[in-house]
Amino acid sequence: MSCKVGRMVGRPRSEDARRAILRAALRLCERDGYPNVTLKGIAEEAGTGRQTLYRWWRTKAEVLLEAMTDLVADRLAPPPEDLEEFLRDTFALTDGVAGQVVAGLMAEAQSDEALAARLRAELIGPRRAALRQVILDGGPPPGADPELLVDMVFGSMWYRLLNRHAPVDAALARDITALLGRIS
Amino acid sequence: MSCKVGRMVGRPRSEDARRAILRAALRLCERDGYPNVTLKGIAEEAGTGRQTLYRWWRTKAEVLLEAMTDLVADRLAPPPEDLEEFLRDTFALTDGVAGQVVAGLMAEAQSDEALAARLRAELIGPRRAALRQVILDGGPPPGADPELLVDMVFGSMWYRLLNRHAPVDAALARDITALLGRIS
DNA sequence: ACTTTACAGGACACCGTGTCTCGTTTTATC
DNA sequence: GATAAAACGAGACACGGTGTCCTGTAAAGT
């Protein structure tokens, strides 16, 4: 994003301001809910000028996408080999604020193609690739298309996350794993 | 919604205005995309006063939810017994404006719990019940929870609809049907 | 006739957005 | 140390959609 090479002239970007903004955005999400968060509110909460926000991000969604990738990178270091454990770890991420934020990001991506592309590239794509690998490593059902399996597994997760008719929890991880194990 | 019994005094609700509003909303969705539709715009396009809109609907999402239920009721009369055909019919609905509208409604439901409840009750719930029935009629996999199967089937549909990494088409209907047939 | 309600049209304050300007602070370069 | 460059906090501004209110008119029942 920012240019790291070449001579940097002028005052460098404040890392303090960046962190304060990301933390303020998550804090406001927790307090007011994703849809009620505004860029103006984030700036005030972070004690920063609004121009500083607009200089580095275009929308609140971009702010929260960056906050989420930072947060996911912290919590999801080792990818386990076991499918059920992998799903449990992934589903555990959707507890608390993070679940609300990713749902909000997916919602906002419906009206912002640039955000949709980044969401796919930085959050959803990597998770899909990881699940695909775990499935292939674990002796996949012979004739089944791995991409379809990924769609159905993460599809049920997103479906529950967005429609909220059932929880995304360890029980879901267990049931999905059992079902996939019974495909001839 | 409106009271049908009891004495109705005063000027009755204009059915012309209602239809004009629903048609204008869908037309604007097609022209400008769901997120760019506004209540003000709908009123102007329909040639109606804004107060008339606010009298019968709270948000643009409620307008479009009603437009969708009308539209779905028209197009989805006979529920076929064959799973693949059922899925093909359902997926065909997501072509064109309707797909964009339901994605927009799901997105908006993330910030409007009342809308989320109506969306579940009037659009998603009935479709879930229908799929569940088709699965049960077609000799379901013995030990598998039908609800989980519904989650995974419609989950993949919604996942593709919202994330747009693959189309929701007849090929998906075929592949899902084939996969479900191979659960022991 | 009279009441009641819906109608079209427009006025209004409110709030978030995105851009702009101001004066300042922090860095690299000369 | 002086200078240029860029980021910083703070705030002003026009714009547009929202939701409410008001006006005068139209269509129904009593």
pLDDT in tens, A121-177: 999 999 999 999 999 998 878 788 999 999 999 999 999 999 999 999 999 999 999
Please tell me the total number of residues recorded for chain B in this structure.
Answer: 184
Task: Report the residue from B35, B143, B156 with minimal CB separation from A111.
Answer: B35
Tell me what pLDDT residue B169 has.
97
Weakest-pLDDT range from A7-11, A42-46, A82-86, B22-26: A7-11
Residue ranges of chain A assigned to CATH 1.10.10.60: 12-57
Q: Is the pLDDT of residue A1 over 50?
A: no
Q: Which two tokens stand for residue B29?
A: 């969705």
Residue ranges of chain A assigned to CATH 1.10.357.10: 60-180
Shortest Cα distance, chain A CAs vs residue B109, angstroms: 8
Residue ranges of chain B assigned to CATH 1.10.10.60: 11-56
Q: Is residue B2 very low, low, confident or very high in pLDDT (cuts 50, 70, 90)?
A: very low
CB < 7 A to strand C: residues 129-168, chain B:
none
pLDDT digits (tens, 9 = 90+) for B56-112: 999 999 999 999 999 888 887 777 889 999 999 999 999 989 999 999 999 999 989
Query: Which bases of chain D are under 7 A from a protein CB atom?
Result: 4-12, 16-23, 26-30
Q: Name chain A contacts of B61, Cβ cutoff 8 Å.
A: none
% of chain B beyond a pLDDT of 90: 79
Tell me what pLDDT residue B4 has.
45
Asked if the Cβ–Cβ distance from B111 to A165 is below 8 Å, we say no
Q: Look up the CATH number of domain B11-56.
A: 1.10.10.60
Indicate if CB(A6) is under 7 A from strand C: no
Please state the rounded mean pLDDT for residues B8-16.
87
Q: Tell me, in Å, how far CA of B12 is from C1' of C4?
A: 10
Fold of A12-57: Arc Repressor Mutant, subunit A (1.10.10)
A&B contacts, CB < 8 Å: 131
Q: Look up the CATH number of domain B60-180.
A: 1.10.357.10
Q: Name chain A contacts of B38, Cβ cutoff 8 Å.
A: none
Tell me what pLDDT residue A176 has.
98
pLDDT digits (tens, 9 = 90+) for B114-133: 999 999 999 999 999 999 99
